[in-house]
Structure 1
Amino acid sequence: MSKREQQKQQRRQHIVQTAKQLFLEQGVQHIQMQDVADATGVGIATLFRYFPKKEYLVIAASSTITEEMATDIGQIVEQTISSYEKIQQILDYYISGTRDPQLRLAKFFESFDLHEKIAEESNEHYAEYLFARSKLANILLTLAQQGKQDGSLRQDIDMDLFIITLVQNFSLFTFKVSLASHDTNLSQLLSEDKQLELMKDVFLSYIRPQ
């Protein structure tokens, strides 16, 4: 790779990291492309050469966040503990994301859903996002294989399918429930903590060896 190409990649990475922080701190809807250009110290024309639409930048930020999550979960999977305990820690990892008083990740992914369809127009940026998701999926498949070997998970179900389904849906649930509002009379019954712990217990009970 030429020095010029390295510089372009470094600049792109800097743009994405800066945009990610702006999106998380201030909300996707409140950040304009000019804000990102100003924060990264590049001209607006330069920014548009890298990302012709804001949606492409949003999906690039999402790819980075997904990569970071994959790294965190990969570290859990690499531990020398049972697969059951690893799944328990992964669920706790997603629950911990709801402890942020500003709910930055939950709000980001809620906004991302609104931008994803337009972002699909860009093969390059959307392929990057799909690659990040496949990286996470492969880590989860590794965990499924570990569960088959160490005997800490039940053996009579399709564990590959189950673990990917579990993590995908539990992560979505944590974001959704953290943003949900309820009638005052139901707030204690439907508290976020109670719902998340209940769902966690249901999943963990299901995968214990029978």
Structure 2
Amino acid sequence: MSKREQQKQQRRQHIIEIAKDLFLDRGVQTIQMQDIATAADIGIATLFRYFPKKEFLIVAATNAITAEMATDVGGIVEQTMTAYEKIEQILDYYMGIIKDPELRLAKFFESFDLYEKIAEESPEQYAEYLSARSKLASILLTLSEQGKQDGSLRSDVELDVFIMTMVQNFSLFTYKSSLTKHDTDLSRLLSTDKQLTMMKDVFLRYIRS
């Protein structure tokens, strides 16, 4: 890669990081392209050369966040402990999202649902989107083999399918439930923390050897 191409890639990543922080802190809907250009210290025309649509930048920010989460989950998987313990820590990791009083990540992913189809309009963006999701999936799939080897997970179920289904639905429920509003009585009964703790317990009881 030439020096010019390296600089171009570095600027692109810088723009994505700036946009990601702005989207998380102030919300996707309120941030305009000019806000991002100003924060990144570039001209608006330069920004549009990299990202012709705000929606493409939202997808890029989503990819960056997913990549960061894959790194975090990968760090858990690389630790010296049983596969069962790793899965427990991964579920705790997702539960940590609701500890943010602003629920920034949950709100961001809720907004992204409106733009997900936009990713397909840009081959480069869509490839990154698939790659980021695939990386996280690949990390999770290593747990089934580890569980078979260390004997901490059940051997009479399709571990690949169950682990992927469990983690994906647990993470989605974390985002959705944290933003769901109930009346006062129902809120006490169906607190997000209480529901997630129960779901975690059910999943772990089912998968334990």
TM class, shorter-length: over 0.9
RMSD: 0.7
Cα distance in structure 1, aligned partners of 2:192 and 2:168: 18
Q: How does 1:27-176 map to 2 (within 5 A)?
A: 27-176=27-176
The 3-state SS of whatever aligns with 1:109 is helix
CA positional deviation for 1:131: 0.1
User: TM-score, normalised to structure 2's length?
Assistant: 0.98
The offset of 1:169, in angstroms, is: 0.7
Secondary structure of 2:102's match?
coil
Q: What is the percentage of aligned positions where both structures have the same residue?
A: 73
Which whole-Å CA distance do the structure 2 matches of 1:25 and 1:37 have between them?
16
Distance 1:30 1:164 in 2: 34
4+ aligned runs moved over 4 Å, structure 1: none
Q: Secondary structure at the match of 2:106?
A: helix
Equivalent residue for 2:2?
2
| One-letter identity of the residue aligned with 1:133 | R
Instruction: Report the Cα offset of residue 119 of structure 1.
Output: 2.5
Contact 2:56 2:125 in 1 (8 A): yes
How many positions carry a matched residue from both structures? 209
User: What is the TM-score with the length of structure 1 in the denominator?
Assistant: 0.98
State how far apart, in whole Å, the 2-side matches of 1:165 and 1:192 are: 20
In 2, Cα distance between equivalents of 1:69 and 1:4:
30
Amino acid in the other structure paired with 2:178: S
Deviations 1:101-134 (A, max 9, x none): 0000000000000011122211110110110110
